[in-house]
């Protein structure tokens, strides 16, 4: 019903396609360049992670492998940082930066960052509403039941707020990563610094795209619901 609506195609589908495509292109190009550029310390992702754990008292975290390219992540509930094979094993600028970024998240959780706490507060609502929100909006509009559509819109709004809070968290993790690498003397040359910044910018850019897409999608459905209400 809405997928083929010209407004949806123009204001949601096409912008989503362009934003997602451009962010993925930037990230993959950055990784392709700096994943093939050796860092001056000749240290891979595992070595970077171990150095950070030792220097910053983060030995409570375990290191494990992750499947797939750029699948690196930190699981706070399991207290595990998982690194993809390329990041774990290759002594590249990208590997060093990506591993440090994940430990930026470890630092955030260890220090009980206010942003982390705010985002975690939203998790139950987001989990409950993520699958139901759009169906409630569409069903409410189809049945001319504005109240139901507003409930769906509210649940969708929680997901948008979650996305908005995620962006500064990712930017802060990248900031922490750059500081850790610099303080440990891992950023020796101009190439090390430039490459690390490029990769850490790419890490945050993923979430910029996701946030913008979630906002424009929310605004589209809000316009439909409020228009029906009037």
Q: Where are the domains of the chain?
A: 6-229
Please give the distance of CA 120 from its chain centroid, rounded to a whole number. Answer: 15
- The pLDDT value recorded for residue 229 is 63
pLDDT digit string, tens, across residues 19-28? 999 999 999 9
| Mean pLDDT of all residues belonging to the chain | 92
pLDDT (0 to 100) of residue 196:
97
For residue 4, the model assigns a pLDDT of: 54
pLDDT > 60? residue 168: yes
Rg for the chain, CA atoms, rounded: 20
Kindly report the length of the chain. 230
Q: How far apart are CA 161 and CA 60, in angstroms?
A: 31
Judge whether residue 82 has pLDDT over 70.
yes
* Predicted confidence band of residue 3 (pLDDT cuts 50, 70, 90): very low
Residue 1: band (very low, low, confident or very high) from pLDDT cuts 50, 70, 90? very low
Q: Which of 4-8, 133-137, 195-199, 209-213 has the lowest mean pLDDT?
A: 4-8
DSSP 3: T
For the segment 45-58, the average pLDDT, to the nearest whole number, is 97
Which among 120, 110, 115 is positioned nearest to 180, based on CA atoms? Answer: 110
Structure tokens at 215: 């906002």
The Cα-based distances of 112 to 26, 161, 189 in angstroms read: 31, 20, 33
The pLDDT-based confidence of 53 (bands split at 50, 70, 90) is: very high
Q: pLDDT class for 105, splitting at 50, 70, 90?
A: very high
Identify the H or E element spanning 135.
Answer: helix 133-142
Mind listing the pLDDT tens digit for each residue in 184-201? 999 999 999 999 999 999
Lowest mean pLDDT among 85-94, 124-133, 158-167, 196-205: 124-133
Return the pLDDT at 100: 98
Proportion of the chain above pLDDT 90, given as a percent: 74
Q: What is the pTM of this model?
A: 0.89
């Amino acid at each position: 019903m809405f997928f083929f609506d010209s407004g949806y195609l123009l204001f949601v589908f096409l912008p989503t396609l362009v934003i997602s495509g451009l962010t993925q292109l930037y990230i993959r190009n950055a990784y392709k360049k700096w994943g093939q550029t050796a860092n001056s310390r000749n240290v891979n992702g595992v070595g970077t992670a171990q150095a950070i754990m030792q220097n910053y008292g983060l030995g409570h975290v375990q290191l494990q492998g992750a499947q797939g390219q750029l699948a690196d992540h930190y699981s706070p509930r399991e207290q595990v940082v998982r690194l993809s094979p390329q990041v774990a094993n290759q002594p590249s600028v990208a590997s060093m930066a990506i591993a440090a970024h994940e430990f930026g998240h470890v630092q955030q959780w260890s220090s009980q960052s206010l942003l982390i706490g705010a985002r975690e507060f939203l998790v139950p609502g987001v989990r409950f509403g993520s699958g139901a929100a759009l169906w409630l909006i569409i069903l409410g509009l189809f049945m001319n039941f504005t109240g139901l559509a507003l409930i769906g819109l509210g649940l969708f709004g929680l997901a948008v707020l979650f996305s908005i809070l995620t962006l500064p968290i990712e930017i802060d993790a990248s900031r922490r990563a750059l500081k850790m690498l610099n303080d440990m003397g891992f950023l020796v040359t101009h190439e090390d610094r430039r490459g690390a910044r490029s990769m850490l910018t790419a890490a945050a850019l993923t979430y910029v795209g996701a946030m913008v897409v979630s906002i424009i999608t929310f605004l589209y459905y809000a316009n439909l619901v409020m228009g029906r209400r009037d």
